[in-house]
Amino acid sequence: MPPRESLPCSPATPNLRLPPAPGGGTLSPRMRVHVNDEPRETAAAHLAALLQELGVAQEPAVAAAVDGQVVPRSRWSEQPLSEGAQVLVIRAAQGG
């Protein structure tokens, strides 16, 4: 499958562009999750690893939820991911 362009943002997060999922060929077990309603394959076992993979883990104004439950930043590394998890990533924005 050819590489995908940046994933579209949900209306609530117009400035968040997620990088395409990395290509195959890895020995890590992969699972499919949905990030901002877009399917994505990942080897991340927990939310912190997924957000690192997406390149947003270090950004100060990012919030995340898994399966409809907001996960505080302090618990990202404790929040496991499972096959089919629905992950919402939101970046706060200023302006108007």
Provide the residue ranges of all domains of the chain, joining segments of one domain with +: 31-91
Would you say 36 and 65 are in contact if contact means Cβ atoms under 8 Å apart?
A: no
* Cα–Cα dist 92/71, whole Å: 15
User: pLDDT tens-digit profile of 26-82?
Assistant: 456 799 999 999 999 999 999 999 999 999 999 999 999 999 999 999 999 999 999
Residue 94's pLDDT is 75
- pTM of the predicted protein model: 0.70
Indicate the CATH number of 31-91 among 3.30.420.40, 3.20.20.70, 3.40.640.10, 3.10.20.30: 3.10.20.30
Would you say 80 and 66 are in contact if contact means Cβ atoms under 8 Å apart?
A: no
| Top-confidence residue, 94 or 79 | 79
